[in-house]
Structure 1
Amino acid sequence: MIYQPYYTISFSVSACNFEILVNDIPVVTMETKGQISANIPINYAIYKSGKQFVTANIKPLAGTENLHPDASLKFNVRLYDVANNDFKRINDFEEVKLPQVEENQKVLFLTQETEFIAEIPYSLINWNNGENLKDVDDIKEKVIQAYNNLANLLKEEKYAEFAEKISVREKNMATSMYLTNSESKARINSLIDDAKNGFDVMPLPKSIFKFYGYGKLVTLKKLNGEPAFYLYNKETKEELMIDQMLYMPKGKTELEII
């Protein structure tokens, strides 16, 4: 019998800037002044069976120093079986809720950790086998160069080379999400089609370096937490954000997208 376990995080959040990480991989980062709820896939952050670690962080809204009294976040991991294009709910893991801030409390930051056991039938190209990037002296220069190289491939319409650059990331995504070859190719083709039809690569904005994956991954983020690498369509005023994680395989000296 085919079994395709599909793990998600269901969350409800309000009045804060928040981030949820699985195995120190960010699976959702955003700010909301109101309240939102969603259920997002997390398989791509699970690279082996066994114990998985989840961390949730909430911070004040932009322009404020302390958490709002209405700030809240609760979440739980869910397991589905998606074999045969079905979406069968198998299990709900225990719900986690961050403590509520009192009206007069001055709280800068709240965090909560939990864990769950996952069993997966696939293996991914593992970032955990990479170098510790915090030990790389010129890591910031290497990150900027990697971003510029990727941007230039789109600007120069070298789409085949662009697809090759992101191939490891796409292979991991296709494997963990049980995508067919055609579905995987469609993901890449959709991005390339956007680049061909009005979406231009934008210069890197003022950004911050963020290390993830216990120091094995690095990325650039805008000050609001959004990916620093993005495309913009001047006619439709739409942005297309492309979140790129970089790692350095053992024994190599250049960063690669994963």
Structure 2
Amino acid sequence: MKNKPIYKILFLASLVGFTLQSCAQNKEDKKIDINQMEKDIVQKEFGYNFRLEYDHNNCSYEILINDVPLITFYGLGERSTTASINQYLLKPGKQEITIRMSPKKIEDTQFNKNLDSTSFVKLKLKKLKNGSPEWNLSNINRDWEEVFVYQTPKLEKDVPFAEFKIPFEATKDELTWEIKGWSESQTLVNNEALKKEVFDFYTNFQKTIEDQNKNAYINLLAHSIFEEASADSWDSKAFIKEGMEQMYNAPMPKQKFLFPINEDTAELKFYGDGKVVTLVSKDPRSFGYSPLVAKAEKNNFPIAYTFYLHKPKGSNKLEIIR
């Protein structure tokens, strides 16, 4: 099922963090002003693209960048893949990758009881300098530079959970952008009121898809797209323009949602030092993923719609941040 790469369903493979995202709003919602977004965005001549490669053995796992999930895997089998992490690097300085390991899924609704000595996650962080189109064309065959390789240490005994943190530094020359992300967001209180807000958000998202309400859909995505464009600082203006145009021109997917959203099958999960919240499924069939699972009309492959919510400083409304 999901995470950062099931997510790009609509337009750009780096929309990650999250799969598709949205919520119901008034059908008369105004279009986002793309020209104004282009004016507001800051573009630099150069910057680095950071890429994380990862694989694992005999475990389920989460990989978080600065305490927000990049990838979640609770599926069958093994996998290895690559993801850009720029939009999780909010400003230059110390960054932190967290690996959380839990027992492997062995059947559709069953997990092992423990991790063992064969369980591991392996990471490889790479970076590549990017710049103007002319600069890129003259450096087509340039190589990615390896920042580090890390493999979780061998577990000495069987355990139900293991966590490891890997800090690294990103300089001002590498991170030529700075984005707010969740850095100034409110600390969320885990209570019944917040639970209702989050469940309502997910229910409204489902309704937005079912109603084919494109304006509401785009409005909810716009800020995340803006921040992701900012994190590709050497290509920000083209990113925001092309991305938003594709959003407007592409048809909304017609989906059939497979599971009901309620407190019996889903629960809140917090990230971003308590400033970010999401819903995860308790259903053994989709455990650990978003409870919003759907199939397209012409595609039998299920999609888990995943997003991470916050309340910006000075606001009391949940919004998508990744």
Query: TM-score category by the smaller chain?
Result: 0.7 to 0.9
Q: Which residue of 1 aligns with 2:274?
A: 215
- Pick aligned residue for 2:251 from 179, 183, 193: 193
Q: Secondary structure at the match of 1:149?
A: helix
> With structure 2 as the length reference, what TM-score do the two structures score?
0.71
Does residue 257 of structure 1 match 2:320?
Answer: yes
- Tell me, which stretches of 5 or more residues in structure 1 are unaligned? none
Write out aligned runs for 1:7-26 (5 A).
Answer: 7-26=50-69
Report the AA paired with residue 99 of structure 1.
P
Paired residue secondary structure (1:93): strand
Aligned 1:22-41 pairs, distance under 5 A: 22-31=65-74, 33-41=76-84
After superposition, what is the alpha-carbon deviation per residue over 1:224-247, rounded to whole angstroms, capped at 9, x for unaligned?
222223432254212233221111
Q: When the two structures are superposed, what TM-score results if normalisation uses the length of structure 1?
A: 0.86
Return the alpha-carbon distance in structure 1 between the equivalents of residues 246 and 271 of structure 2.
Answer: 24
Letter in 1 for 2:272: G
Cα separation, partners in 2 of 1:137 and 1:82, compared to 1, 3 Å = same
Tell me which residue corresponds to 2:310: 247
Distance across 2 between alignment mates of 1:189 and 1:18? 35
RMSD: 2.5
**Structure 1 residue identity aligned to 2:130:** V
Q: Tell me which moved more, 212-221 or 149-158.
A: 149-158
Measure the CA separation in 2 of the matches of 1:114 and 1:187: 36
Note the C-alpha offset of 1:10: 1.6
Q: Which amino acid aligns with 2:96?
A: F
Provide Cα deviations, 1:143-186, integer angstroms capped at 9, x if missing partner. Answer: 01111222222222221121101211121122224452343126
Give the distance between the partners of 1:227 and 1:139, measured in 2 at CA: 17
Is residue 185 of structure 2 the alignment partner of residue 122 of structure 1?
A: no
Hey, which of these two has a bigger chunk of strand by percent? 1
- CA apart distance, 1:34: 4.0
Q: Which amino acid aligns with 1:181?
A: I
Q: 1:93 to 1:126 in 2, by over 3 A?
A: same
Matches within 5 A, 1:122-161: 122-134=177-189, 138-161=193-216
CA distance in 2, matches of 1:35, 1:109: 18
Displacement of 1:4 after TM fit? 2.5
Answer whether contact 1:82 1:88 (CA < 8 A) is retained.
no
Q: Does the aligned pair in 1 maintain the 2:182–2:275 contact within 8 Å?
A: yes
- Give the letter for the 1:5 counterpart: Y
Q: Is the 8 A contact 1:207 1:220 kept in 2?
A: yes
CA contact (8 A) 2:51 2:125 kept: yes
Tell me if the contact between 1:51 and 1:115 (Cα under 8 Å) persists in the aligned partners.
yes
Output aligned runs, 1:77-116, within 5 Å.
Answer: 77-83=125-131, 84=133, 86=140, 88-101=142-155, 105-116=157-168
Aligned to 1:74: 122
The 5-angstrom pairing of residues 40-59 of structure 1 reads 40-59=83-102
- Rounded to whole Å, the distance in 2 between the matches of 1:128 and 1:122 is 14
Instruction: Measure, in 2, the Cα distance between the counterparts of 1:231 and 1:133.
Output: 28
Structure 1 residue identity aligned to 2:269: K
| 1:184 partner amino acid | G
- Are the aligned partners of 1:80 and 1:87 in contact in 2 as well (CA < 8 Å)? no
* Contact in 1 for aligned 2:90/2:178 (Cα 8 Å): yes
Task: Considering Cα pairs closer than 8 Å and 6+ residues apart, tell me whether 1 or 2 has the greater RCO.
Answer: 2
- Report if aligned partners of 2:74, 2:104 keep a CA contact under 8 Å in 1: yes
